[in-house]
Amino acid sequence: MSFNFIHTADWQIGKPFGSFPDDVRVLLREARLDVVGRIAAVAKAASISHVLIAGDVFDSANPPIQVVTQLLGRLSAHKGVVWHLLPGNHDPAQSGGVWDVVKMRLPSEGVHLHLTAEPIEIAPHVVLLPAPLKAKALAHDPTAYMDGVETKPGVLRIGFAHGSVQGFGGMGDAAVPIDPSRDRRAKLDYFALGDWHGRTKISDRTWYSGAPEPDGYKDNDPGSVLMVSLSEAGAVPTVTPVQTARYLWLRQSVALTSISDADRIIEALQALEHPSERRIISTTVSGELNLAEMVQLEAVRERVMALGRHVDWDQSHLRLVAEDGDFEAFGSPTLAAIARGLKADAVASDVAGEALRLLTRYARGLGTS
């Protein structure tokens, strides 16, 4: 009895991405919905019918109704794919919450909600053991009941839960403890977990799939789903990651001692295979530059801006090292005096440093941005 399925989690549909400009927020929200189609394509290409979404399907417990209808529309557009949805800590199963809204609009087939901790046979000889969350935090392990669930010999047992595996560095964001030896205790053939947004193998049978579309700069290997093959009860599963992400999120941090160090910023971006229109970049520069270099850095910044769909450029920790003589080139004794004053204050004040940078740009005819 073999069984193949896809394990994914942490879709966080409806995440607002409030710190981004409006146009980018729209793209990032849309990418989270679009990934449904890419996952369905992965399933169909491998003749897989079942997709397990291990919690945090929605970003919040009360999303706007159109977030729910949009997702249900995407899910039901793929005939032949059965989606198994599990509440997580972001979208716990509480009365009057998002799952009541989903239930009322459930398509006639293709979408299964697992709102109670009840084993269910999802295919012949395949039993799913879900551990839905009913609260954002729990003191007890919601998967403990799986140990006592009896199934017939030869039946495949798949655990399905959302939370933090204990003793694994407190990973994940849910305050829900899960015993890392649950797969052995409950004789699970596979344990599909959600919460940690990166792909992580806990044991041969226990995996976090990570989010199929990254939602932040965390360097934890997000952006794929897991294709899982169970050959027979008790056998070690074959787990194959498949990339599904649209956007690559990249955070770079470069300390500059001279302007030539800034080449590293460009080189790192040019080395990426992921196309620039699908990169979300955060670049932080620190260190010290002189006035002429500060002006050259503006050109670097403009090049970087063209190497991503969104670039968050932070140089608030970069210090301008200026000689008083530099300011005489402004051609105005008044401006030079102000610049000298700002330079003295910049030692203790970021605002004075930023004002000096802007004054320098302005005095050199470069505008004030």
Cβ–Cβ under 8 Å, residues 55 and 161:
yes
Stretch that binds Mn ion, among 114-122, 192-200, 202-210, 348-356 (CB under 5 A): 192-200
Query: Residue 200, interface with Mn ion (CB under 5 A)?
Result: no
Stretch that binds Mn ion, among 18-26, 166-174, 241-249, 327-335 (CB under 5 A): 166-174
Measured over the CA atoms of residue 186, residue 191, residue 193 and residue 199, the dihedral's sign is positive
Element (H, E) at 344: helix 333-346
Q: How distant is the alpha carbon of residue 301 from its chain centre?
A: 26
Kindly tell me which residue out of 88, 177, 222, 308 binds Mn ion, with binding defined by CB under 5 A. 88
Query: Residue 164, interface with Mn ion (CB under 5 A)?
Result: no
Which contacts qualify for 62-68: CB closer than 8 Å, 24 or more apart?
62/97, 62/98, 63/13, 63/14, 63/98, 64/14, 65/101, 67/13, 67/14, 68/98, 68/101, 68/102, 68/105
59 vs 189 by CB, closer to Mn ion:
59
For 48-194, strand residue ranges (E) read: 50-53, 82-85, 111-113, 120-123, 126-131, 156-162, 164-165, 177-178, 190-194
88 vs 210 by CB, closer to Mn ion:
88
160 vs 327 by CB, closer to Mn ion:
160
Closest distance between Mn ion and the C-beta of residue 222, in Å?
A: 13
| Backbone Cα Rg of the chain | 26
Quick note: the x/- pattern for Mn ion over 266-305, rule CB under 5 A, is ----------------------------------------
Closest distance between Mn ion and the C-beta of residue 10, in Å?
A: 6
Total residues contacting Mn ion (rule CB under 5 A)?
A: 5
137 vs 305 by CB, closer to Mn ion:
137
Closest distance between Mn ion and the C-beta of residue 56, in Å?
A: 4
> Residue 163 and residue 90: Cα distance in Å, rounded?
11
> Residue 55 and residue 333: Cα distance in Å, rounded?
64
Considering only CA atoms, which of 80, 101, 98, 78 is closest in space to residue 90? 98
Quick note: the x/- pattern for Mn ion over 231-250, rule CB under 5 A, is --------------------
Query: Residue 53, interface with Mn ion (CB under 5 A)?
Result: no
Closest distance between Mn ion and the C-beta of residue 55, in Å?
A: 6
Tokens 């400009």 sit on residue: 21
Cβ–Cβ under 8 Å, residues 158 and 129:
yes
Residue nearest to Mn ion as judged by C-beta position: 195
CA atoms in the 13 A half-sphere facing the CB of 180: 14
Stretch that binds Mn ion, among 50-58, 228-236, 292-300, 350-358 (CB under 5 A): 50-58
Cβ burial of 110 (10 Å; 0-12, 13-18, 19+) is middle
Q: Which residues 142-161 are close enough to bind Mn ion by CB under 5 A?
A: none
141 contact partners, CB below 8 Å, separation of at least 6: 163, 176, 177, 178, 179, 182
Quick note: the x/- pattern for Mn ion over 249-268, rule CB under 5 A, is --------------------
Q: Helix crossing, 333-346 with 350-363: angle to 10°?
A: 150
Closest distance between Mn ion and the C-beta of residue 48, in Å?
A: 24
Closest distance between Mn ion and the C-beta of residue 195, in Å?
A: 4
Kindly tell me which residue out of 51, 82, 133, 174 binds Mn ion, with binding defined by CB under 5 A. 174
Query: Residue 183, interface with Mn ion (CB under 5 A)?
Result: no
Kindly tell me which residue out of 38, 40, 56, 330 binds Mn ion, with binding defined by CB under 5 A. 56
Stretch that binds Mn ion, among 14-22, 36-44, 84-92, 351-359 (CB under 5 A): 84-92
Measured over the CA atoms of residue 175, residue 181, residue 184 and residue 188, the dihedral's sign is positive
Closest distance between Mn ion and the C-beta of residue 29, in Å?
A: 18
Tokens of 60: 């919040």
Which residues form the interface with Mn ion (CB under 5 A)?
56, 88-89, 174, 195
